[in-house]
Chains A and B, each alone.
Chain A
Amino acid sequence: MHHQIVHRAGAERETLWVLLAAGLILATATAAVGLRPAPEAEAALAPHQIDSRTALTAAEQGLHADLKMAAYEIAAEIAALRPADGTSNGRAPSPAELAAQALPPFAADASAAARGGHVWTLAEAGGTVAYAGLSADPGIAGSLVLLLDRQDDGHGDRHGDGHGPGIWLKRAAEAPPARLDEASLAAAGWKRITSTFTAGVTR
């Protein structure tokens, strides 16, 4: 007598294999993602630094950009005023001279009034030139200092973050900084504004 076992129709075995394959794929993907995380691109800021994109008010962002622009112009003027024989450095233009050229943020225009009404003074120490602007309304924008090297071409990096001249901020400043070196500024509560270049996210 011939016996033959006929299994009932079903897909248990196939289902098992499909589930196993799916599990294997998921496990591989999880391991790959876990082992290759995207590098943390942003370097943490030092305590005496402040990020221009996220930590400044709108008025401060505008003033910071204007100071960067002014740094080029001032550096060019210092170079132009330098004696041809190179025996001494050129004179730094005063805030009043810069205002007369309508150079923002020194110009006393409607924009200056709307962004904190800063009063600008010039201080020099050694090879460093500092333009300090005391804010009349720290709620809108804090006080700012632009530091330049006499030898800078406006692209200089001695004070900077890899991006030009040194620009420092203090929200509650009652006087311009007494000393212009980085350590003294940081100790006096000033924060250096840093800005980073971020390429388009869909590049």
Chain B
Amino acid sequence: MSLSLNRRRFLAATLAAGVLRAGAAGAADRKRFGITLHPYYSYVANIVGNMAEVVPIIPAGFNPHAYEPRPEDIQRIGSLDAIVLNGIGHDDFAGRMIAASSKPGLPVVEANADVPLLPAAGSMAQSAAQSAARASGKVVNPHSFLSITGSVLQVATIARELGRLDPANAGAYTANARTYSRRLRQLRADALGKLASAGDTRLRVATIHGAYDYLLREFGLEVSAVVEPAHGIEPSPAQLAETIATMRRLDVQVIFSELNFPSAYVETIRRETGIRLYCFSHISHGDYAADQFEREMTRNMDTLVQAMLETGQ
């Protein structure tokens, strides 16, 4: 009796171990795709579903504008099968991390390969020479992820390239990418639908951070002025005075600032000019999540619609 029980236990244990091994093998077969920025986590997670693992190489909570590579993050690159990069200026640290990792030949997916890039946002607080270099288009605006069209184009590129690296799942990646892109397009259609009866919605816009050109172009808006010389770099008092004078001269109606990056001088601008201020999300905060991009872009577009409706009245 006890022998038979033991045998049964042994059998059950063996079976369980077999199942676990099979599960582990399944997990080992799954590709590991690295990402650097929050929106790219959402893109890749929606494209691969549960067929691959998405690995952020920067831990949540680090500001990508001020990130300095750490040894443990570089070590993580060694476990990846490929990495998806913004590649146009927002994660330039990644190339050096890959070179220093145990996999310097890691396949890189250039998400922006097919996106029509915009020049870096012109700042009111920069020299004429800098403005000329930017106007020539040699420096591009890396925030193509802060727009629906820019995101859909990147999702298509990522799905195609990841499919090449993981041919067994290529069809599923393409199908998932289309479903996700349709959802993203619907978010924009919903936001524009709210403007249907708004009449003329043209605005003269200034932004604190030069991140929102791609988004504003989708709504037919153009940025007249950008306040920060570079992200997180506060203008000097003299630059601030000039900024305020320029905003008055251009008769700017709306300023878009940024959630999670509070700056005391923004309040000074608002107080001095009396211009309405709204806040966008840069989508670079909080935990990595598949639905984060949709949530925060919905909020951004709601903010934009609210600004257009309130200012148009």
Which one of A18-26, A28-36, A53-61 is at the interface?
A: A53-61
With contacts A53-B116, A68-B153, A72-B156 taken as known, whether A200 is within 8 angstroms of B195 at the C-beta atoms is no
B286 at the binding interface (Cβ < 8 Å): no
A199 at the binding interface (Cβ < 8 Å): yes
Point out the residues of chain B lying under 8 angstroms from A192, CB to CB: none
Chain A, 67-93, contact with B by CB distance < 8 Å: what is the 0/1 string?
Answer: 011001100100000000000000000
Point out the residues of chain A lying under 8 angstroms from B221, CB to CB: 58, 114
B residues contacting A by CB (< 8 A) are: 86-92, 95, 110, 112-119, 135-140, 142, 147, 149-150, 152-153, 156, 160, 178, 181, 185-186, 188-189, 192-193, 195-196, 198, 201-202, 214, 217-222
Q: How far is the CA of A172 from the CA of B113 in the complex (A)?
A: 31
Q: How far is the CA of A102 from the CA of B198 in the complex (A)?
A: 18
Point out the residues of chain A lying under 8 angstroms from B112, CB to CB: 197
A residues contacting B by CB (< 8 A) are: 51-54, 58-59, 61-62, 64-66, 68-69, 72-73, 76, 102-104, 107, 109-111, 113-115, 154-155, 163-164, 193, 195-203
Point out the residues of chain B lying under 8 angstroms from A114, CB to CB: 201-202, 219-221
Structural contact, B220 and A65, CB atoms closer than 8 A: no
Structural contact, A66 and B202, CB atoms closer than 8 A: no
Point out the residues of chain B lying under 8 angstroms from A109, CB to CB: 189, 192-193, 195-196
With contacts A110-B219, A111-B219, A201-B138 taken as known, whether A69 is within 8 angstroms of B149 at the C-beta atoms is yes
Q: Is the contact region of chain A dominated by helix, strand, or loop, or is it mixed?
A: loop
Structural contact, A59 and B220, CB atoms closer than 8 A: yes
> Shortest beta-carbon distance, A179 to chain B, in Å?
26
Point out the residues of chain B lying under 8 angstroms from A76, CB to CB: 178
Which one of A51, A65, A104, A155 lies within 8 Å of B137 (CB-CB)? A51
Structural contact, A197 and B117, CB atoms closer than 8 A: yes
Structural contact, B152 and A69, CB atoms closer than 8 A: yes
Structural contact, A163 and B89, CB atoms closer than 8 A: no
With contacts A61-B118, A110-B196 taken as known, whether A198 is within 8 angstroms of B219 at the C-beta atoms is no
With contacts A58-B222, A111-B192, A114-B221 taken as known, whether A64 is within 8 angstroms of B137 at the C-beta atoms is no
> Shortest beta-carbon distance, A110 to chain B, in Å?
4
> Shortest beta-carbon distance, B149 to chain A, in Å?
5
Structural contact, B150 and A65, CB atoms closer than 8 A: yes
In the complex, residue of chain B having the shortest beta-carbon distance to the beta carbon of A64:
B116
11 A-B contacts (beta carbon < 8 Å): A54-B135, A58-B221, A59-B220, A65-B218, A68-B116, A68-B149, A109-B196, A110-B195, A197-B88, A202-B89, A202-B92
Structural contact, A66 and B149, CB atoms closer than 8 A: yes
Point out the residues of chain A lying under 8 angstroms from B178, CB to CB: 76
Structural contact, B217 and A62, CB atoms closer than 8 A: yes
Q: How far is the CA of A76 from the CA of B195 in the complex (A)?
A: 29
Q: How far is the CA of A54 from the CA of B141 in the complex (A)?
A: 12
